[in-house]
Amino acid sequence: MNAIPAFSQLVKENDDHLRLIFDDKQLWKQFSLKTNIDPVGLCGHTDFSDVHGIQFATQQAIQRSQILVERICNASTNGSEEMRKVVKNLDRLSDTLCSVIDLAEFIRNAHPDNSIQDSVHQAYSDLCSYMNTLNTDTRIHKILSEVLADNQLVKHMDEEEYRSAMVLLHDFEKSGIHLPSKKREEFIHLSDLIIHLGRNFIQQNPRAIDTVKIPVSELTGIPIHQTHVKNGFAYIPTDSPQAQTILKYAKNEQVRKQVYQSIYSATEESIDTLESLMKTRAQLATLVGNSSFAELHLQDKMAKNPGNVDTFLRTLLKHQEPLFRKDMNLLQSSKQRELKNSTTSTIFAWDRDYYMHLCNQIEFEKHQKHMPYFTVGSVIQGLSRLFNHLYGVRFEYSSMRPGESWNDEVRKLDVVCEDEGKIGTIYCDLFMRQGKTSHAAHYTIRTSRRVDDDDDHNDVRFAFPGRNVDESRFFPPITQPAERIRGKDGLYQLPIIALTCDFAQGTGNQPSFLSMYDVETLFHEMGHAMHSMLGRTDFHNVAGTRCASDFVELPSVLMEHFVSHPEVMSLFTNETVSSPQLDLKQGKLFNGIELNAQILMALVDQSYHSSLANSDSFSSVKEWYRLQDSVGLFPSVPETMWPVQFNHLFGYASNYYSYLLDRTLARRVWETNFKENPLSRVKGQAFREGVLKWGGSRDPWECIASVLSEEDASKIIKGDEEAMKTVGDWGVDVNKN
C-alpha cells in the first residue's frame, strides 16, 4: 500500500510544476487539456462556445435583467420584505449584465477568431446600449431612493450593502436621472456625442505632417530599417518607430528639431475634435449642476474635487523639484560637453531623448554584467511563494477543459488559500502573438458575490404581481458555479480574472526570459489579481477592483516595490541575490524627468476638464503652452500640439492624476510595512484585512489609514485637502527600494 504524500510534499511538487508549465512546453502539453470531460465555453462560461451561444447569452442577460428591473420597481407593491431585497436585486441585475459584458470585453481583445470577435463586440455594444436605458430609468432610481430614505431598512444594512447602494445611487445621479424629461434627453444626446467625439479623437491621425524628409547622410549609424529613400533623402513617416529612433540617435540638432516638430504637429481638425470633446463634457456637467466636468467626475473619487487634485499635484511638484533639477543638470552637462560650450546649454524638447540616451548608455555599460534575466515560470513560482508568505495564498496549475481556452499558450491557475481552499481562478495569457493587444492588462471576468440568497425562483412572480404568467416562455435564470468557502456562511461565485502580457516566446526548447521591466509588469498585474481574489464581498458591485478609480492602482503599484528586494528576488532565483546585482534597477537615470512629464500630463488633464472649457475663448493650444512653460522642464515648441495624441484625455477624463496618487500612497505603505521585511505574514495579513478584502465596500482613506502609522493615519483619514497635501509631500520614491 502506497503512503499518502504529506501536505508539504504536495505543495513542493505543485511549486515545481508551477514553474515548469510556463517554461517547459512539453510538460504543459501533457497537463494543458482534460479530454475525458464535457466541453465548456470560453473561460468556463457555458454559452461562450460559438457565435450562436454568445448571441443566446446576450439575449438571456437582457431578458433576465428586464425581469429583475420589473421585480425591483414593484418592490413596494410586494411588501416590506421585497423592499429589503432591492439592493440585493440591483446587485444581481448588475452581475447579470456584467457576466456577459466583462467576458465579451476580454474576448474581443484576446480571441484570434474574427467571427468570435465580431460576435462578442456586438454583444458588448448591445448590452452597453441596454445599460444606458437602465441608467435613465427613473423608476429604479425612485425605488432605490425610497429604500435609502427608510431608516428602518438602512439600519439593517451592513457596510457592504450600504456602500453598494450608495455607489448605485451616485451612478444614477451622475447620469442626470433627476432632470426633467427633456433635459434628460439632452443628457443622453450629449453622452452619445461624447462617445462619438472620443472615438474620433482616438482613431484619427492628428499629425499635420505625415512624412519628414531627411538627408540620408544624417542617418549614418542610426538603427532604422525599411525606410523609403529617393535622391539621397529618406522619407520617414512621423507616426513610425523610425521617427522616434531619430530623436534618440541623430547627432545633428537641426534634424532632431525638424523631426520633433513634425511628430508633434497637429491638424486644425484634430484640435477642433479635442476642444469639442472638452466643451461637450463641460456642457454635460453644467446640465447636471456642476461647474466643470472634473467637479462632476471626481465626486465619488478619493480626491473628491478638482481643488484637492490641484493641491496634491502642486505639492508633489514642489517636493520633487530637487530631483528634476538633478536630472536636468545632467542633461545640460552632457550637451555642454558634446558641444564643447563654456556656458550652460539650454535643453530643448528635441534634445531630451538624445542626451538621455547618451547618459543611459554610459550607465548601462557600467552595469551590464549585472543585468539579471528570469524565466516566466520562475517569476510565477516566485509570486506564488511571495503571496504564500504574505497572505497564506498560493497558485496551483489547473488543466483546461475542452473549449475553455482561446489559445494553446494560455495557462490556468487556481488560487488556493490555506484557510479557505480555492478562492478563484486566473487565466494567464502572457505570450505575444499576432492579432493580440500588446499592452499588459488585468481583466475582470467574474467577481465575487454571495449567491445562495438570490431567490431567483421568485423573480417572475414578483416582477408581475397579480398576473398569471407562463414562466416557460422566458429564458431560464442565469446560474454561475458556486462554492462554499471555509469560514464563511453561504455559497459564493468565485472570482475569475485574466492577465495579458506581451512576452516573447522562448526559442526551441528554451523558456521565455524576462527583463527586469517585464518582471515589474508581471508583479504589477498580479497586484490587481490579488485585489480581485481577496476582495471577496457579498456584493458584486463593490467586489475586488470595483472601487474608486484613484484607489484601484494602489495594490498593483505596491507590488512593484517588492520586485528588486533581495529577499523577494531570491524567491524566484532560488539563490541569495546580492545588492550589486540590483544596481542597474536602482541606478536608473532620469526618473525625475519622467515624473515631471506625468505631473504635467495630469495638470493638462485637469485644466482641460476645468471650467475653462465653458468659455468661448478656451484654447487648448494656449493652455498647453502655458503649462509647458510654467510646469514642464522643456520650453514649449511653437507649431506643435502634443495633447492631440494624449488618448488618455478620453479614457481617464480628469482622472489621470490617479497613478501618481497611488504611487505616493504605495510608497508610504511599503516603507511602513514591508521595506524591512517584505515577507512578513503579520504585515501581509494586516494589508489583506485592512485594504484588499474590502474591494470597494469601504472608504479607501480608511483602508489606507489602517496600515499606516498612527501619526500618518491621523493626517489623511478625512480625505480632505489637507490629506491630499500630506500625500503630495510624501513624494514618489522613483527608485522603489
Q: Please list, residue by residue across 551-567, b when 16 or more beta carbons sit within 10 angstroms of its beta carbon and e when fewer do.
A: bbbbbbbbbbbbbbbee
Query: How many whole angstroms separate alpha carbon 107 and alpha carbon 112?
Result: 9
How far is residue 400's CA from residue 43's CA, in Å, rounded to a whole number? 9
Q: Are strands 496-503 and 421-431 parallel, antiparallel or unpaired?
A: parallel
Instruction: Give the CA distances from residue 62 to residues 30, 168, 579, 599, in Å, rounded to whole numbers and listed in that order.
Output: 40, 19, 57, 42
Residues with a catalytic annotation lie at 525
Distance CA 689, CA 703 (A): 9
Residues 442 and 292: their CA atoms lie apart, in Å, by 31
Instruction: Give the Å distances, CA to CA, from 32 to 21, 24, 327, 378, 401.
Output: 8, 12, 49, 18, 8
Residue 166 neighbours by CB distance under 10 Å: 15
- The C-alpha cell that represents 580 in the structure block: 550589486
Residue type, 676: E
CA gap 481, 45 in Å, rounded? 10
| Grid cell at residue 394 | 498560493
Query: If phi over 0 gives left and psi between -120 and 50 gives alpha, with beta otherwise, what is residue 508?
Result: left
Contact 300, 166 (CB under 8 A): no
Torsion angle, CA of 50/52/55/57, rounded to 10 degrees? Answer: -70
d(C-alpha 341, C-alpha 327), whole Å: 19
Distance CA 76, CA 718 (A): 37
For residue 681, the SS3 value is helix
Q: What is the DSSP string of 117-146?
A: HHHHHHHHHHHHHHHHHHHT-HHHHHHHHH
Query: Phi and psi at residue 393, in whole multiples of 5°?
Result: -125, 135
Dist CA 401 CA 101 (whole Å): 22
CB atoms within 10 A of CB 435: 11
Give the residue ranges of DSSP H helices in 150-252: 151-154, 159-174, 181-203, 241-249
Q: Facing residues of 493 across strands?
A: 449
Burial class (CB in 10 A: 0-12, 13-18, 19+), 486: exposed
Q: Is 75 helix (H, G, I), strand (E, B) or coil?
A: coil
HSE (CB half, 13 Å, CA atoms) of 377? Answer: 20
Q: Is 699 exposed, middle or buried (0-12, 13-18, 19+ CB in 10 A)?
A: middle
Contacts with 449 (C-beta within 8 Å, 6 or more apart), sequence order = 91, 95, 492, 493, 537, 538, 539, 540, 543
Residue 184 in grid coordinates: 434628460
Residue type, 314: R
The single-letter code of the amino acid at 711 is: E
**Dihedral in degrees, nearest 10, Cα atoms 219, 223, 225, 229:** 0
Contact 522, 561 (CB under 8 A): no
